Amino acid sequence: MDQQLLATSVAWFSGWSLHGNATGIDLIAASTGALNGALLARRPDHYKNFTVVGILLMALLGGLGGGITRDILLNHVPSALTNPAYITFCLVAGAAGYLLAYGSGQLFREGLFQFSLSFMLPWFAIVGVQKAVDQGIPVLGALLIGIIAPTAGRAYIDIVSGVSPKQFIQGEWFIGTAFITSAVWVVVDSTGAGSYWSAGIAFAVGFTFRVAALYRGWEEPLAREPKGAYKHSDGRPLLGRKLAGKSQRELHELGLVVENGSSSDLAAKS
């Protein structure tokens, strides 16, 4: 009897849901994050001889890491564990990201990565701040959740890849986009505009700001350099105006141009 109860207690196909309580938006954000995770793991500044399974795990980190962190902070069982759609969609998106990350398409891949990141950041921020407000978290705490939710997954990928987490280094307003999106959602929602208007306006502002930052080359201001220190190049691939006037050699050093031939051939040439 005990063995029978144990066997029938396994939930094989239950829990699937694609809507309700911002689930649809969260799934879109998670899937986009998983695509980003796979693309990021193939970038020259992150790649560390990852296996196919390793790429898919990076996709899961990018797609589920922020949402799981958010739900744990809000004292919830993570949605990614109770709704199989999250893991399924993230694995599919990760496989797509792996197939898209081929050598001859570096510039296309980087453009896709940055566009999808700009798309993901606002949605994750919206879901995070909305869930925090619904939980009764004060505004400052809700804004912090709105920042953590879209950025934690990237931090996990960076740490696993052995690079400095993007939150702490100069870039095109990564944290700033999450904060602005969350703040706009709070302001619009406080007027009683409704969930659809709040989400739509917040997304439009956050997405537009991020894309403008990429195109115009806007970056967070650096801290004053301590004596004896110097600003070094971190080799980040660039987009927008920062690519203007770059030579083929500079584009190659950024990982945006890949030469034909195997790695052994290239090594022999050098």
At 12-64, the pLDDT tens digits run 667 787 877 778 889 999 999 999 999 888 887 788 889 999 999 999 999 99
Residue that the structure tokens 């703040």 belong to = 183
Q: Which range is least confidently modeled, 38-42, 71-75, 157-161, 246-250?
A: 246-250
Which residues neighbour 245 within 8 Å (Cβ) at sequence distance 6 or greater?
Answer: none
* pLDDT at 32 (0 to 100): 92
Per-residue DSSP letter, 186: H
State the CB neighbour count (10 A cutoff) for residue 114.
20
* pLDDT at 46 (0 to 100): 85
One-letter amino acid for residue 23 of the chain: T
Question: Average pLDDT of 165-189?
Answer: 92
* pLDDT at 17 (0 to 100): 79
State percent of the chain over pLDDT 70.
76
Q: Which range is least confidently modeled, 5-19, 159-173, 214-228, 238-252?
A: 238-252
pLDDT band at 231 (very low <50, low <70, confident <90, very high): low
Whether residue 69 contacts residue 127, with contact meaning beta carbons closer than 8 Å, is answered with: no
Q: Is the pTM of this model over 0.85?
A: no
Reported residue count of the chain is: 270
Q: Nearest to residue 151, comparing CAs of 162, 139, 167, 173? A: 167
Geometric angle at alpha carbon 154, from 60 and 163, rounded to 5°: 115
pLDDT band at 185 (very low <50, low <70, confident <90, very high): very high
What is each CA distance from 34 to 7, 18, 129, 175, 270, in whole angstroms? 32, 17, 21, 19, 36
Whether residue 254 contacts residue 238, with contact meaning beta carbons closer than 8 Å, is answered with: yes
CA 85 vs. chain centroid, Å, equals 18
pLDDT digits (tens, 9 = 90+) for 136-175: 999 999 999 999 999 999 999 999 998 889 888 888 889 9
* pLDDT at 259 (0 to 100): 58
